[in-house]
Chains A and B, each alone.
Chain A
Amino acid sequence: MDLVSNLALGLSVALTLQNIGYCFVGCLLGTLIGVLPGIGPAATIAMLLPATFALEPTTALIMLAGIYYGAQYGGSTTAILVNLPGEATSVVTALDGYRMAQAGKAGVALAVAAIGSFVAGTIATLIIAAFAQPMSDLALRFGPAEYFSLMVLGLMASVILASGSLLKALCMILVGLLIGIVGTDINSGQMRFTFGLLELADGVNLVIMAMGLFGLGEIIKNLSLPPEERTTGLLTSIIPSRAEMRRVVGPILRGTALGSVLGILPGGGALLSSFASYSLEKKISRTPEKFGTGMVEGVAAPEAANNAGAQTSFIPMLTLGIPSNAIMALMAGAMILHGIQPGPGVIRDQPSLFWGIIASMWIGNAILLVLNLPLVGVWARLVTIPYHLLYPAIVVFCCVGVFTLNNNGIDIYLMCLFGLLGYAFFKLECEPAPLLLGAVLGPMMEENLRRTLLLSRGDPMVFIERPISAGILALAAIALVAMASPYLRHRREEILVEE
């Protein structure tokens, strides 16, 4: 069977001592940085990306994937222990997780989160393995028109999922597209929007943007808010009781299913998954009123869902070359930095790299489990470091990381500019994630638009004359119209409201 032989190939790549070692280091570093309050997965990946430059591509991507899961899990840890979700995906976990921690059951919450993530990760890995090949085959039949439409759909989906105003999220994407255009135009070789800076000839580096927006911007934002009291509950029990384990089996499996499906959708990924699974559990629970008071189901379901979603969101990135959220955009950027163009070609031309990454996903999840259960106590202490001691260190990491990208100071100043923008966007209530996604998709969208219209001799009708393209665009339009309607807008605000 293809699936088995592919996974065997992947395991043979992923199970080398070196790759397991780097996967472990990635998970450890990712958790270590991700657990720090105020640092989400995007900032963690951006900060640690330069550490992978010296590695060969397969190992580097395996390590990056490890960093991603580690950061995601670290974020949940912070949410549970100190009620400080590093990013939107762990907001839901904090609802019941923090209540459990206050009741002295932080260990149980963390263990359930780890077990839920592991189960979800295992199932999602199999789903990716099964779907990757057909998706790639389909993608190979796509022309530029389909690609353009698909990117429109992805961007629309990310607009819908951004919290706050639709209009602002749309504008942020457009600004992102414009930033993506900075650099050398591949068709004419002309430098665009570089303002005479040679350093911008290759475009604005994604890592610099992410570090500025999510690293420095977040620090300034946190410092501008009044300092908050943080309390950590005592760690009394770590091992969930049998009754608790029985209670979480259902939520974990339902969360996994929901997360896997939503993760594949462009713009989906971890965020929507965790919100949706929490609402689902609340809806089918016999005691919905108890949610928010420390229900173990309220931790298990969203954790399983966000891990499953985080994992299946690799599918559109690896097979179509279209990142579906800001984190996948960073991963795609990392692949390009290592000389691999994400897209249907990867699975065909570099099967050992592709399947190696897939297999390492499962290994990464296993490592997370063995890593986190014994280290729960260490993380609990780490999150109690006062912020005023922590943030100067984060600034240092951002600086060293950005400087080592190209060894030049201009990059640092550029990061400062994005840091300022990050704070401005916070004040203006604009979410920065769609901007990052736009910046990655900008050059791709332009290229595919150009090709499409060149082939159709300038006739834009081609987008709706080709059935697949028309279907995708219709989906995007339906999604946008639906979200603009008052009823759904209200529902969306209800679901995506920041705690």
Chain B
Amino acid sequence: MHLTGGVMLKIKKAADFWAGALFLSIGIAAVYLSQGYTIGTARQMGPGYFPAAIGCILSLLGAVQVLASLRGSVRLMSGVSLRPVFFVLLAAASFGFLLRPAGLVAAVISVVVIASLGSAQSRPAHTLAVAVVLAAGSAIVFVHYLGQPLPLVGSWLSGN
């Protein structure tokens, strides 16, 4: 990978480079967002003082990290596994989306089915069994025993 900008630089340590870049941008964002609040003085700190200070230090350290990643021996980063990232996060998100309208039972089944797509080893029959057991189990444990205010059947299905 190359960075242009006068000199061609080679990233030697990929993970360090991207970590540094992440920290640098979070730091800059913190400093930028802090401008929206009163900074104040050391004696009378406003709400923006502390985050701005932390943001400065963070961007400094991030920059050091980026520079350090350009030196030394090459260490590559393995590829990102998109499949588990996508399906596990989608599964969890579907719970937030489905719980009120479709209810706990449907939401749990949706989580299990979508999450299972994240692994190449899942088998449909197993997944279905896990889904049914977990849906029944969480209805009994969380709603019946622990009395959590979760709708078993949501507004879509109960018709109101």
Contact = CB atoms under 8 A, between A and B. Distances in A.
Contact of B65 (A171, A389, A392): A171
Interface in B20-50: 22-23, 26-27, 30, 33, 37-38, 41-48, 50
B119 A391 contact: yes
Interface string B46-83: 11101100110110011011001000000001101101
Contacts of B126: 388-389
Interface string A114-148: 00000000000000000000000000000000000
Contacts of B150: 400, 403-404
Contacts of A219: 84, 88
B105 to A, nearest CB: 12
B118 to A, nearest CB: 6
B47 A185 contact: yes
Given A395-B92, A395-B115, 18 more contacts: A171-B65, A174-B57, A178-B58, A181-B54, A188-B38, A188-B47, A220-B89, A223-B118, A224-B80, A386-B121, A391-B118, A393-B134, A395-B88, A395-B112, A400-B108, A403-B96, A413-B93, A427-B15
A440 interface: no
Given A227-B121, A413-B93, A393 B88 contact: no
Interface residues of B, number: 71
Contacts, number: 191
Contact of B112 (A175, A181, A392, A409): A392
Interface stretch (B2-10, B140-148, B152-160): B140-148
11 contacts: A167-B68, A190-B37, A224-B84, A392-B91, A392-B116, A392-B131, A427-B80, A428-B18, A429-B15, A429-B16, A460-B42
B12 interface: no
Interface residues of A, number: 65
A416 B93 contact: yes
Contacts of B55: 178
Given A400-B150, A403-B96, A412-B96, A223 B88 contact: yes
B81 A223 contact: yes
B62 to A, nearest CB: 6
B104 to A, nearest CB: 8
A192 interface: yes
Interface stretch (A92-100, A271-279, A285-293, A448-456): A448-456
A232 interface: no
A197 B118 CA distance: 31
A158 B48 CA distance: 26
B122 A388 contact: yes
Nearest to B131: A392
A244 B80 CA distance: 47
Interface of A: 50-51, 54, 165, 167-168, 170-171, 174-175, 177-178, 181, 185, 187-188, 190, 192-193, 216, 219-220, 223-224, 227, 386-389, 391-393, 395-396, 398-400, 403-404, 407, 409-413, 415-416, 419-420, 423-424, 427-430, 445-446, 449-450, 453-454, 457-460
A170 to B, nearest CB: 6
A171 B19 contact: yes
Considering the complex of A and B, which 3 residue pairs feature the smallest CB-CB distances, nearest first?
Answer: A412-B96, A458-B43, A224-B81
A454 B96 contact: no
A450 B51 CA distance: 12
Nearest to A424: B22
Contact of B46 (A167, A171, A188): A188
Contacts of A178: 26, 30, 51, 54-55, 58
A171 B149 CA distance: 39
Contacts of B47: 185, 187-188, 190, 192
A167 B61 contact: yes
A51 B100 CA distance: 21
Contacts of B138: 396, 400
A190 to B, nearest CB: 5
Nearest to A421: B22
A433 to B, nearest CB: 16
Contacts of B127: 392
